[in-house]
Structures are given as C-alpha cells and as structure tokens.
Structure 1
C-alpha cells in the first residue's frame, strides 16, 4: 500500500527576496516539487513591499497546497533596522500559512545547516551541494531558494523521519 505524500513548503524570508522550496515526503523518501523566489520592489514603501510578499507567499501556498510549512528563524545582526525589516518579512511567512490553517514550524539557521550538511556553520555552497545530493532532481536559481529547500528538508527530518532514500 502506497502512502500519500506529505507536502512541505519551506520559506527563507527576506524583505527583498523570500526563497521558497516545496518537497514531498513519502515514508522515508524526499521528492523535489519546486522552488523559487518571491520578490518585492525595493523602491516601494514598506507596506506595499509587505503586501507584495504576502501575495507571493499566498500564491505559493495556494499552488502547492502543503500540509506543513517551515520557516527559518531570524538571526540578530548588528544593524537593528535590517533585523526589524527581516522580522517584518518573516511575519509574512508565518502569517500567510496560519491564515490557511496550516501548521508552521520554525528552525534556527544553524539547526538547518546541521541537519542538512552535518555541521551548524556550513557555508552556502555546502548547503547547496547537500540539497542537490538529497534532492537530485532539484533546481534552484538562487541561494535563497536552496536555503528554503534546506529548511523544508530540516523540517522533514525533525518531524520524525529518520532516514531518506534519494528519489
């Protein structure tokens, strides 16, 4: 008997670019579904940019119909204004799935890297390489989309999956 897949969408939030990645989990297999970027216009006011991000996140959720969503937690950097703007973008990635009644999990960047690469301080290239190994059919046109796939993979692992077969 074949189990139904669980679709997970991961978001790597940012005010200019929010990466997204969708995977299916069937038993112990991870299957690439899609990935991409949601962007906002840098010259627009903050409210308009947040609306653009909200519309983009909702579009991804409506198109891919996940059962679960995973979002990267904010890291605090030295620039308080940049951290606050990132927090606004992250709020959109949390709010939109909640509006649809979807469960949302959050993961620290180091936890994502440790789950996917094996070390918590891996660089972007290492994350991209491991995403390609775990999802050989995956394509991504940006670091943000690769990171979003890594967040989805982390969630698949953290939700109780123990080992994965390459599909």
Structure 2
C-alpha cells in the first residue's frame, strides 16, 4: 500500500503572497487588520481598471463585470457551502452590511418578534440586532456549550418559537477562532 507523499510548505513563498507583512509586523488586532493576499489585490485592481461599470447593462463591459461578480459569488458560495451564488453579498465591511440588513428589516419586525444571537459572534452581528430591542424585538442568546466551546444545535432548539424571525450566527467566530 502506497503512502501519501508529504510536501513541505514553502513559507518564503507563502509570506511573499502577503505584501503587507513584509514590513516586519504581524497584525493580530482584528479583521480590520487582516492582510490581503497579493492575488486578491491584483484581481480587485483588474476589476477596477477594466470592469468597474454599472451592472445590468447590455454592453460588453457591463456583461463582463456581471460575469466577474457572479464568478466571485460562486467561489464564495463554495467556501461557505451556500446553496446558490445569489446568497452571497459583498460589501465594504461585515459591520456595515449587517447594520444595513437590520435597518432594512426594521419595518418587517414587530414588538414580540424574536431574534436569536450568539455570544461567540463579533459585535457586528450582535449590535444591529440588539438595537432592535428599542422596537420591542426580543433578543435571545444561543449559548456556547461550555465543554466544547462551540454552538450546539440541541441548545438552539428550545430557543426557537413561532415568533422567531432570525437566527443570527456568522460562518466563523473571531472570538473562538472556529468555523
């Protein structure tokens, strides 16, 4: 029986793909300090230089921009195991996107409606929903399993009711470093 070959990781190559780290600093502060991959910057620049136009047009560049966005959404769909590319939304920050979503849903929620959040999420996925309590929305907390430090679906079930409108949990926790 053949054993799988193991390749060593070329750390110099990996580090070269993150130009922001070449100045001797390592940033552990938060997502805002995350260093972007060189090829990602190059793809963004290509888009901005060649396809940064209004989407939905019938002309070639607009069609190319829509195709590039669809390609990016499809890649992100696979990354987070979404069902369709249309489930993926890109924006300037998670904080801004979730604040916009909460504001957009404001008129769809009434006093007594419930939203479930976790304590393992970033403030960006807690604050916007917390502020809806001013309208009488009830905030419930999905607790962490204290032994595994993970979210357990068995702990979510008792929180759910006919008044539950949203369960707000992000794909990964920057608090626990888990997916």
Fold agreement, TM-score > 0.5:
no
Higher relative contact order (CA 8 A, sep 6+): 1
Q: Normalising by the residue count of structure 2, what TM-score does the alignment of the two structures yield?
A: 0.28
Q: Normalising by the residue count of structure 1, what TM-score does the alignment of the two structures yield?
A: 0.30
Higher strand share: 1
